[in-house]
Amino acid sequence: MDASLSTIILAAGRGSRMKSDLPKVLHQILGIPMIELVTEKVSQVGSDDLTLVLGHGADQVQRALGETSIRSAIQDPQRGTADAVLAALLQQPPVHPDVLVVNGDLPDLDLELLTRFVADHRSGGAAFSVASARVADPQGMGRIVRNDRGDFVAIVEQQDADEDVGRIDEVNLGLYMLQVDTLLPLLEEMVSQDLSVADPAAESYLTRVVEVMVQKSLSVAAIPVAADRQFLQVNDRRGLARVSRVFQDRLQEQLLDAGVTIVDPLTTWIELGVEIGSDTVIHPQTVIRRGVQVGRHCEIGPFAHLRGGTVIEDDVKVGDFVEINRSHLECGVRAKHLAYLGDARVGSGANIGAGAVIANYDGTHKSSTVIGERAFIGSGSVIVAPGEIGSDAVVGAGAVVPPGKIVEPGTVVIGVPARKLNQNKTRS
Ligand code: UD1
Ligand code: MG
């Protein structure tokens, strides 16, 4: 971490290419809003002074971030990336003279690249540096224009590029370093000039500051930061899907390397923060949501859906068309066919029969259910929460256990509503 660095994240834009009511930075990559991914990476390089520029959907973004030490600046209306940086510099004056500026739609930043960029900027000594890269498909990105001597003289946006410029494959990645003392007066002048035109939709681009600085003989640099690497930004839903796929492949590779079998990676979707123990097998068409924990030697799927807040201990089998929501399954539990378990704690060795439902929602409230060790929950039964099924108890096929009913350990209940069967335990 570089504590002598201030950071500005630009996240005020309308994101109109997303065609969404949701601000672009709240769209999720594998269960995590993009803005969380960006702030997390960026705080690793300059965590002690971070300002987020918000505008479109600012309230929504602030709510999503919750309690945070990140400061925010409001850009309203949103009139371009230079205007956004200026809003941050004026509303939240940076603590440090060096500022890293990051576009908020770059969820795939890596710490090493950021660190190297900051170091190269400092050793180069320019007042404004842009991170650049040669990419296979430069379409849609600002092109780095150099003169015959190779000096960086401008960034030309896609819509302003002629055929020659369009062929340039060195692009602006949307990461910048600036020295506040030099850039603040420059941006004030440039933005007021750009926005003084009659067109209310006019924008002031941060990228234009390069040619302004070159004219004034101020030092600018385009620093190539990486070769052989794909750079992913999210401007539209295609970008979101592409970035999500890259993250998914990477996450699955980590799990595979850690000893998890994923039978068909292409039809399996696992969100970020999921932990899975070795020798667990994930069958096709399985979805595992953010933060779920799965132990060792489990079998999950095909067609299983493990939702947030779920913990699955070792040797558990969750079969086809089983949905598990905010539940804890202890070792050796079986729920092999067509079941729904919501807000349940299921004791070790318990068996959840085909089509059983643990109904956690009464239309207003959600309640919990506890199922004891080795309990046997019959096919097609419904346990309406709050529920308590004792250890070694049996719920007969098709029974409905009403809310609040306690099924004593070792007893058998059957029927609708479920009542105690006057005989020793039988397994159906
Ligand atoms: C921008 C760059 C382009 C670069 C690309 C890399 C400009 C003008 N162009 O284009 O050279 O190759 O990023 O990803 O900067 N934003 C605001 N306020 C605004 C407008 C935008 O905060 O008024 C924010 C957006 O929320 C976004 C970021 O700035 O996070 C970049 O804006 P975006 O519209 O995505 O710019 P690009 O077209 O991708
Ligand atoms: Mg963008």
Measured CA to CA, the distance from residue 343 to residue 389 in angstroms comes to 14
Per DSSP, helices labelled H in 47-177 are 58-65, 81-91, 111-124, 163-166
Residue 182 CB: number of other CB atoms within 10 A?
17
Q: How confident is the model at residue 14 (pLDDT cuts 50, 70, 90)?
A: confident
Question: Would you state the pLDDT for residue 426?
Answer: 54
Nearest one of 49, 28, 29, 39 to 94, comparing CA atoms: 49
Q: Which amino acid is at 287?
A: V
Average pLDDT over residues 8-22: 94
pLDDT tens digits, 309-331: 999 999 999 999 999 999 999 99
Residue 208, φ and ψ in degrees, nearest 5? -70, -20
Residue type, 53: V
Reply yes or no on whether the pLDDT at 13 is more than 80: yes
Contact 392, 425 (CB under 8 A): yes
Q: Which residue is closest in CA terms to ligand 1's atom 3?
A: 142
Nearest partner of 5 among 36, 53, 54, 43, judged by Cα: 43
Report the distance separating Cα 279 and Cα 256, nearest Å. 10
pLDDT confidence of residue 39: 92
Q: Please report which ligand is nearest the Cα atom of 205.
A: 1
Q: Tell me the pLDDT band of 2, cut-offs 50, 70 and 90.
A: low
How does pLDDT run across 34-87, given as a tens digit for each residue?
999 999 998 888 667 999 999 989 999 999 988 888 999 999 999 999 999 999
Q: What's the whole-number mean pLDDT along residues 369-386?
A: 98
Give the integer Cα–Cα distance in Å for 299 and 288.
13
Strand 170-179 relative to strand 98-103, pairing: antiparallel
pLDDT in the model for residue 95: 94
Output the average pLDDT for the chain: 95
> What is the C-alpha separation between 355 and 338, in angstroms, rounded?
5
Rounded mean pLDDT of 176-195? 98
Task: For 99-109, write each residue's pLDDT tens digit.
Answer: 999 999 999 98
What is the Å distance from ligand 1's center to 389 Cα?
Answer: 56
Return the SS3 of 389. strand
Residue 267 Cα to ligand 1 middle (Å):
33
Residue 186 has pLDDT above 90, yes or no: yes
Q: How far is the CA of 418 from the centre of ligand 2 (A)?
A: 58
Rounded-to-integer distance, Cα 240 and Cα 363, Å:
34
pLDDT at 248: 98
pLDDT value of position 424: 55
Contact 92, 75 (CB under 8 A): no
Domains in the chain, start-ordered, CATH in brackets?
5-227 (3.90.550.10), 240-420 (2.160.10.10)
Spatial separation of the C-alpha atoms in residues 343 and 183, rounded to whole Å: 54
Which residue, by CA, sits nearest to atom 13 of ligand 1? Answer: 174
State both tokens at 237. Answer: 């839903």
Pick from 51, 78, 81, 169 the residue to mutate for probing ligand 1's pocket: most ligand atoms within 8 Å of its CB. 81
- Whether the pLDDT of residue 158 is over 90: the answer is yes
Reference 73, options 93, 52, 97, 94; nearest CA is: 52
Contacts of 64 (CB under 8 A, 6+ apart): 26, 33, 35, 36
Helices and strands (DSSP H and E) totals, the chain: 8, 37
Q: Is the pLDDT of residue 1 over 70?
A: no
Confidence of residue 339 (pLDDT cuts 50, 70, 90): very high
Which two tokens mark 256?
A: 């595979």
Looking at the CA of residue 79, tell me the nearest atom of ligand 1: 23
Burial class (CB within 10 angstroms; exposed 0-12, middle 13-18, buried 19+) of 62 = middle
Q: Residue 35: helix, strand or coil by DSSP?
A: helix
Choosing from 27, 56, 328, 337, the catalytic residue is 337
Between the CA of 30 and the centroid of ligand 1 the distance, in Å, is 23
Total Cβ atoms within 10 A of residue 134: 14
DSSP-based three-state secondary structure for 126 = coil
Residue nearest to atom 29 of ligand 1 (CA): 10
The pLDDT of residue 3: 67
d(CA 143, CA 164): 11
**What are phi and psi for residue 133, nearest 5 degrees?**
-155, 150
Phi, psi of 364 (to 5 degrees): -125, -50
**139 — phi, psi (to 5°)?**
-50, 130
Instruction: Name which residue leads in pLDDT, 9 or 423.
Output: 9
Q: Give the DSSP letter string of 140-160.
A: TS-EEEE-TT--EEEEE-GGG
Question: How sure is the predictor about 231, in pLDDT bands with cuts at 50, 70 and 90?
Answer: confident
* Peptide bond preceding 386 in cis form (omega within 30 of 0): yes
Ligand closest to the CA atom of residue 145: 1
CB burial class (10 A; 0-12, 13-18, 19+) of residue 118?
Answer: buried
Task: Report the pLDDT value the prediction gives residue 21, as an integer from 0 to 100.
Answer: 93
pLDDT > 90: percent of the chain: 89
Low-confidence winner among 41-50, 190-199, 224-233 (lowest mean pLDDT): 224-233
% of the chain at pLDDT higher than 70: 96
Q: Is 337 a catalytic residue?
A: yes
Cβ neighbors of 366 (< 8 A, separation 6 or more) are 342, 343, 360, 385
